[in-house]
């Protein structure tokens, strides 16, 4: 093994063909880590699959070990055992608050892993896509449950402090970084933007050359919903200018809302132009967005930097999103823009979509978004973490 390719890095992440949150980010990050000249091997410590599915063909420098299960109390010991077995130079955790479970105990125990990894001698880094302090719990499954919200808030402070005791931590939004630095001023906390998955130059597809189509994509049923969007779509179809408009919905149920998509599809099965696409595979993402003029986000709230917004920008669709929370922060931090509406306001959303479809400024906005997205490729994110792990592991024994 030559000096330039000497690092063995472990990546803890949800990973395809599983469908947990952040799995696509984990895939792209793993590929960029493996492409770095200092990295000899990346081992992905991934979620166990509920069904027997074929693993992706990832090439010689990437290996997947499925060692933890969503909502399992055994996640922490399973990860520590895997790190002792693999002996990497360092481990990177790709996390959001519910990565390891949607129950308080399983989620919290899993999120202790970065701190404990460091304590057993394995340099650890965290990519925190969201934090409890930045989430409006009334827009989650805890809506109206004041006692449970209080427990989550209190426990969240403890778990967040523990996560900050990893060797280092990064956030994807400046507002999250500022909250954590104020609470944990002695910890190594940095802002590293989300990054763009596909930084390969692609021919620009003018909006007028695309089908007259709206798309939306996500895991629906909690704070990401479809009722306002479908109502806005129905209003637009009444306008003679938009009678041929299509709405393509890509995605699946949120894990906590099984049956949500099927229920919405059954209710609106007779709606002309409405298409339920289902899960959008990784290889189909570019075509999904490039075959649309507008990408809509029917959100009640936000819980971190939006990967779907970055994909929307990368592939030139015009975003329409509520002017709330992390959307505002993301646009400020990364120079993205879109047409806005108030959450739950179907008429306001319809008006914003109409502007995105008809305004002469929409083409310029979409091009500017793509340029901004291309300015922070995921390769730069990977390089930041490789440099951190290299410095931390220098002169130290492996895990």
Please write the tens of the pLDDT for every residue from 210-225. Answer: 999 999 998 898 878 9
Q: Which residues of 345-376 are buried (b: 16+ CB within 10 A; e: fewer)?
A: ebebbbbbbbbbbeeeebbebbeebbebbbeb
Short-list 1, 7, 17, 69, CA closest to 43? 7
* Per-residue confidence (pLDDT) for residue 151, from 0 to 100: 66
* Per-residue confidence (pLDDT) for residue 143, from 0 to 100: 64
Phi and psi at 290, nearest 5°, equal -70, -15
Poorest-pLDDT segment among 1-10, 146-155, 342-351: 146-155
For tokens 């922070």, the residue is: 376
Q: Tell me the H-state helices in 187-274.
A: 227-237, 260-267
Please write the tens of the pLDDT for every residue from 47-81. Answer: 999 888 888 889 899 999 999 999 999 999 999 99
Segment 282-294 shows an average pLDDT of 93
Distance (Å, rounded) from C-alpha 40 to C-alpha 62? 9
Is residue 136 scored above 80 in pLDDT?
no
Nearby residues of 212 by Cβ (< 8 Å), 6 or more positions away? 242, 244, 245, 246, 293, 357
Please write the tens of the pLDDT for every residue from 190-210. Answer: 999 888 887 677 899 999 999
- Residue-range domains of the chain with CATH: 7-195+377-393 (3.40.50.2000), 207-374 (3.40.50.2000)
The whole-chain average pLDDT of the chain stands at: 89
Q: 207 burial class (0-12, 13-18, 19+ CB within 10 angstroms)?
A: buried
Is residue 37 scored above 80 in pLDDT?
yes
Element (H, E) at 94: strand 90-95
Strand-pairing partners, residue 12, are 45, 93
Nearby residues of 252 by Cβ (< 8 Å), 6 or more positions away? 19, 219, 220, 261, 278, 279
Segment 284-297 shows an average pLDDT of 95
Q: How many residues does the chain have?
A: 399
Segment 154-158 shows an average pLDDT of 78
* Per-residue confidence (pLDDT) for residue 50, from 0 to 100: 86
Alpha-carbon distances of 251 from 81, 175, 233, rounded to whole Å: 34, 28, 18
The pTM assigned to this predicted structure is 0.81
Is residue 399 scored above 60 in pLDDT?
no
Helix (H, G, I), strand (E, B) or coil at 39: strand
Segment 247-265 shows an average pLDDT of 90
Please write the tens of the pLDDT for every residue from 338-383. Answer: 999 999 999 999 999 999 999 999 999 999 999 888 888 899 999 9
Is residue 171 scored above 70 in pLDDT?
yes
Segment 307-334 shows an average pLDDT of 85
Q: What whole-number percentage of the chain has pLDDT above 70? A: 91
Residue 320 in contact with residue 356, Cβ under 8 Å? yes
Q: How does residue 299 score in pLDDT terms, banded at 50, 70 and 90? A: confident
Segment 155-174 shows an average pLDDT of 90
Q: How does residue 1 score in pLDDT terms, banded at 50, 70 and 90? A: very low
Nearby residues of 190 by Cβ (< 8 Å), 6 or more positions away? 168, 169, 170, 171, 177, 384
């Amino acid at each position: 093994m030559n000096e330039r390719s000497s690092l063995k890095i472990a990546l803890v992440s949800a990973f395809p063909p599983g469908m947990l949150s952040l799995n696509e980010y984990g895939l792209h990050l793993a590929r960029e880590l493996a492409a770095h000249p200092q990295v000899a091997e990346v081992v992905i410590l991934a979620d166990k699959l509920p069904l027997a599915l074929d693993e992706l063909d990832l090439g010689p420098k990437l290996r997947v070990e499925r060692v933890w299960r969503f909502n399992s109390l055994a996640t922490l010991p399973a990860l520590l055992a895997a790190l002792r077995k693999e002996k990497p130079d360092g481990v990177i955790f790709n996390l959001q608050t519910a990565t390891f479970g949607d129950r308080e105990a399983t989620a919290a125990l899993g999120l202790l892993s970065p701190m404990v990894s460091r304590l057993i001698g394995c340099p650890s880094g965290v990519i925190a896509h969201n934090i409890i302090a930045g989430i409006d719990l009334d827009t989650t499954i805890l809506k109206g449950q004041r006692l449970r919200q209080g427990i989550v808030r209190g426990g969240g402070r403890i778990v967040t402090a523990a996560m900050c005791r990893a060797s280092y931590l990064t956030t994807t939004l400046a507002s999250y970084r500022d909250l954590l630095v104020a609470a944990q001023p002695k910890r190594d906390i940095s802002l590293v933007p989300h990054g763009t998955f596909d930084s390969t130059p692609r021919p620009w597809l003018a909006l007028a050359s695309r089908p007259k189509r709206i798309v939306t994509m996500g895991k629906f049923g909690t704070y990401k919903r479809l009722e306002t969007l479908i109502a806005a779509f129905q209003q637009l179809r009444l306008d003679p200018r938009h009678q041929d408009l299509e709405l393509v919905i890509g995605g699946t149920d949120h894990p906590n809302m099984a049956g949500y998509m099927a229920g919405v599809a059954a209710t609106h099965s007779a709606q002309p132009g409405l298409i339920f696409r289902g899960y959008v595979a990784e290889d189909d993402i570019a075509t999904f967005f490039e075959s649309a003029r507008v990408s809509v986000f029917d959100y009640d709230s936000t819980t971190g930097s939006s990967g779907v917004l970055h994909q929307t920008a990368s592939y030139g669709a015009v975003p329409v999103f509520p002017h709330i929370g992390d959307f505002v922060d993301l646009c400020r931090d990364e120079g993205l823009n879109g047409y806005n509406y108030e959450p739950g306001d179907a008429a306001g959303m319809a008006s914003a979509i109409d502007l995105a479809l008809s305004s002469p400024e929409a083409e310029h906005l979409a091009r500017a978004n793509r340029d901004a997205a291309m300015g922070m490729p995921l390769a730069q994110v990977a390089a930041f973490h490789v440099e951190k792990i290299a410095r931390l592991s220098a002169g130290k024994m492996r895990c």
